[in-house]
Amino acid sequence: MNINLVRNTPTIGATLTLDLAGALRAGSATKRDAIEQVYTALIEHLVVFIEDLVLTPAEQIDFALQFGALDVPHPVYQTLEGCPEIVALENDGDRPPDTNDWHTDLTFRPNPPFMSILYAKQVPKTGGDTLWANLYAIYDALPDHMKTLLQGKSAIHDIGTFRNDFLGPEMDVKAVNQALLDTGSAVHPIIQIHPVTGRTFVYVNPSFTQHIVGLKKSESDRLLRYLYDHANQPEFQVRYHWRPNALALWDNRVTQHYAVADYLPEYRKMHRVTVINDRRSP
């Protein structure tokens, strides 16, 4: 299958032009070939965009299943009726989003998901962009003494200020405590090696990383602040302006993202599927 690829930036992001809906329907060899090419682009460019794509929820699920098993249900967000694999992210003035902070999805789990696939159902007239950052590039640009300092260190991740989602108008502390028990926490090395590319990346994010193991709180806070400031440079990022029927998939192992909440009270609706494992990973 002939796929056209245009990079969005030299560092991260590629837009593919292909008849994905047709390939999914075609089955067998055509489908396999299209999926392998999308996967190769994903591993190289970390986030892949496919535009002007008309997909039913069942087709989005089928597409996602070609990469690995799906996450059901999401710990926080509402799912589509009759379709527990698809999270409906619906936001407007009454339902502001909580994804306008840099994060890698679900790092409070011991095994955070491999990939997310986001499909634009309805987008505001202007605004509502999403940014992704390349965690390899963030690592590569660290000074050598920082790489040395971070080597072998780990950090604790939990749901952080996503606690707010469980408080409700009654400030329900019991519900928050239960949510913390349900979602748990995880310890991840700060410097990691990607299982497919063998490349090194830095793995902390301001939404979920709470503390560097073994450091005093003040030291940990200073070091994390340094990493977040270092990471937040436009050179490491792509900013994507959504059109309806655009699809984005990202390698959640080596990216962070930020959904800009500048469009309220306008309405924005996205369908998201989360793939928990990379079936091609060694």
Ligand X SMILES: O=C(O)CCC(=O)C(=O)O
Q: Enumerate binding residues for Fe ion (CB under 5 A).
A: 105
When the beta carbons of 142 and 270 are compared against Fe ion, the nearer one is 270
Residue of 242, 281, 272 whose CA lies nearest to 15: 242
CB contact burial 27-45 (16+ within 10 A = b; e otherwise): eeeebeebbebbbebbbeb
Active site residue 257: yes
Does 202 bind ligand X (CB under 6 A)? Our answer is no
Does 116 bind ligand X (CB under 6 A)? Our answer is yes
Active site residue 33: no
Q: Output the 3-class SS for 215-282.
A: CCHHHHHHHHHHHHHHHCCHHHEEEECCCCCCEEEEECCCEEEEECCCCCCCCEEEEEEEECCCCCCC
Contact pick of 15, 60, 107, 130 for ligand X (by CB under 6 A)? 130
When the beta carbons of 201 and 250 are compared against Fe ion, the nearer one is 250
Does 272 bind ligand X (CB under 6 A)? Our answer is yes
Contact pick of 12, 34, 115, 118 for ligand X (by CB under 6 A)? 118
Residues 70-99, one symbol each (x = binds ligand X by CB under 6 A, - = not), give -------------------x---------x
Token pair for 256:
């962070």
Question: CA–CA separation, 260 vs 100, rounded Å?
Answer: 5
Q: The tokens 């011991």 sit on which residue?
A: 110
Residue of 265, 268, 191, 247 whose CA lies nearest to 63: 247
Given 45, 257, 268, 271, which residue is catalytic?
257
Active site residue 182: no
When the beta carbons of 107 and 116 are compared against ligand X, the nearer one is 116
Active site residue 92: no
**Which residue has its beta carbon closest to Fe ion?**
105
Which residues belong to the active site?
Answer: 103, 105, 257, 272
